Chain A
Amino acid sequence: DIQMTQSPASLSASLGETVSIECLASEDIYNNLAWYQQKPGKSPQLLIYYASSLQDGVPSRFSGSGSGTQYSLKINSLESEDAATYFCLQDSEYPFTFGSGTKLEIK
C-alpha cells in the first residue's frame, strides 16, 4: 500500500499570509493526488485534483504542485473562511490512501 505522509499536523497563520502543506508518497503516484478541505461537521470538499488542477468554484488563491512522490498545497492571501482541516489523497492505485490531515488555524 502507498503511504501518504502529510505535514505539518497543524498550522497557525495570520490573515493575508501564505501557507503551504506537504504530502509525501511512499512511491511515485504520477500526479494522482487530490487535496480536500473539511470544516467541522461538514463533508470534505475537493480543492485540487491531478496535483495541480483547480476544481470548479474553488478560489484561485488555492494552488497545487508537485510530481513523483512530493506534492504541496499552497494557500495565498489567507482568509478567515480558510480555517479548516486539509487532507491529501492518492488515487493512483488501490487501496486509495489519505494523508493524516493538517489543521489550519487563522490567527
Chain B
Amino acid sequence: EVQLVESGGGLVQPGRSLKLSCAASGFTFSNYYMAWVRQAPKKGLEWVATISTSGSRTYYPDSVKGRFTISRDNAKSSLYLQMNSLKSEDTATYYCARQPGLDYWGQGVMVTVSS
C-alpha cells in the first residue's frame, strides 16, 4: 500500500525557515518524480515543487522560486522541502504527492507563518 507521511510543520515567524519531510513507503521511491502541493486555508490547490528521480532536476513556480528547495534521499525513501524567507502567504497545508498524475497524496502538514 502506498503511503506518504508528512512531518515538520508548525508555527514560524515571517522571515524564518522551516523544513518539511515526507516519508514514503509501499512503492519504489527512487523510480518516481515527487512533488509538493499546498492549500491555503479555505482556498484552492497550488503546486509548489517537483523533483526528478535522481534529484538532478527541480521545478518551482515563481511564487516560491529562490526561497524553497525540494530535495530527496532515495536511500531513505524521503522527500524534503526547505522553506526559507517565509511569508504570511505561505501559510497552508502542505502535501507531498507522487508523480505522474499526483496519484497518491499524504495527509498533509500545516504550516502557519505569523508573528
Contact = CB atoms under 8 A, between A and B. Distances in A.
Contacts of A101: 44-45
Contact of A43 (B47, B100, B107): B107
Interface residues of A, number: 21
A44 interface: yes
Contacts of A55: 103
A94 B50 CA distance: 9
B103 A95 contact: no
A49 interface: yes
The binding surface of chain B is classed by DSSP as loop
Contacts of A94: 50, 59
B61 A44 contact: no
A95 B59 contact: yes
A46 B106 contact: no
Contact of B45 (A49, A50, A87, A91): A87
Interface in B34-60: 35, 44-47, 50, 59-60
